Amino acid sequence: MTDRDRAAACQGPYGGENGLADCGDPVRFEVARHLRAPLRVCPVHLGPALLLADGVLWPPVIILVR
């Protein structure tokens, strides 16, 4: 199993750093962050993650995972 497989559940909307990472939906996007692991989120949490997660680059750098 690869890292990508293990991380296939949404980490949104705050990247698991604010104690509210209980979404668990399938990951669709990966948001690049400064000095942090990329944030992998579902479509619902893409917007909130861009605005609220720590270290998100601006303008945002978003990769479509699948």
Residues engaged in binding Zn ion (CB under 5 A): 10, 12, 23, 25, 42, 45
- The residue among 28 and 36 lying less far from Zn ion, judged by its C-beta, is 28
Location of structure tokens 């978003």? 62
Q: How far is the CB of 58 from Zn ion (least distance, A)?
A: 21
User: What gap in Å lies between CA 54 and CA 36, rounded to an integer?
Assistant: 9
- The residue among 12 and 15 lying less far from Zn ion, judged by its C-beta, is 12
**Is 31:46 a contact under the CB 8 Å cutoff?**
yes
- The residue among 12 and 38 lying less far from Zn ion, judged by its C-beta, is 12
